[in-house]
Structure 1
């Protein structure tokens, strides 16, 4: 196991699975991209029944209270363009992974590694971001 990092950014899948993840696999200080909050909000809106909607809304509220949300700002927008180019260079279609690329761009803009359960979503971006699978 590699050395535990001081800081890092969490992907949506890590936030959702957080209760099942060994804290030793995560950095001491974590934040989430604001795009993660958008994805969690989307999950609330797309819930199939009131019980699921309530559970997802509570999870979103918990995440908003627990984590600092880093914005998708001007620097992240610039990094996003670079990550789109890397995705195309890797012969992958960027369109179905725009949210993932925005999350990665936020991590890159802040110089933070991205912790994810879905490392395959970020194949081809190695020159632009450090991805850590948990």
Structure 2
């Protein structure tokens, strides 16, 4: 079991699956990147079923109310370049992973661990950001 951090950044899949994740596996204080809110907003816009749309809108509203939102800023942009270089060195193409990479860069810029349900998406970034699978 991973030690519980005081603060950490969670990615979109963690926000979506939050109710099914043991809170002991998450940081005490959860933050999200503004990019996570953007992805959740896109999910609302893409929903074709009104029931799904309402559920997604509620998830977005809850995330906005419950978690600190950290913007993708100048330092995160710099870290993005570093993380992209790490992926390239690991033989992976950063282009299809842009948003995930930007979320990871936000965590790295804030010196926060990144919590995810999809750790394979972040393979090759170990020297740039701490990734914690939940």
Q: Is the TM-score greater than 0.5?
A: yes
Figure out how many residues of one structure are paired with residues of the other and give that number.
Answer: 134
For residue 113 of structure 1, report the CA deviation from its aligned partner.
Answer: 0.2
* Alignment correspondent of 1:28: 28
**C-alpha RMSD of the superposition:** 0.7
Q: What is the SS of the residue equivalent to 2:121?
A: helix
* Structure 2, unaligned runs of 5 or more: none
* Alignment correspondent of 1:86: 86
For residue 2 of structure 1, report the CA deviation from its aligned partner.
Answer: 3.0
Question: Is residue 11 of structure 1 aligned with residue 11 of structure 2?
Answer: yes
Q: How does 1:1-134 map to 2 (within 5 A)?
A: 1-134=1-134
For residue 3 of structure 1, report the CA deviation from its aligned partner.
Answer: 2.0
Structure 1 stretches of 4+ with a deviation exceeding 4 A read none
TM-score by length of 1: 0.97
For residue 52 of structure 1, report the CA deviation from its aligned partner.
Answer: 1.1
* Structure 1, unaligned runs of 5 or more: none
CA–CA separation in structure 2 for the residues paired with 1:100 and 1:2: 22
TM-score by length of 2: 0.97
For residue 95 of structure 1, report the CA deviation from its aligned partner.
Answer: 1.1
CA–CA separation in structure 2 for the residues paired with 1:133 and 1:2: 9
Q: What is the SS of the residue equivalent to 2:72?
A: coil
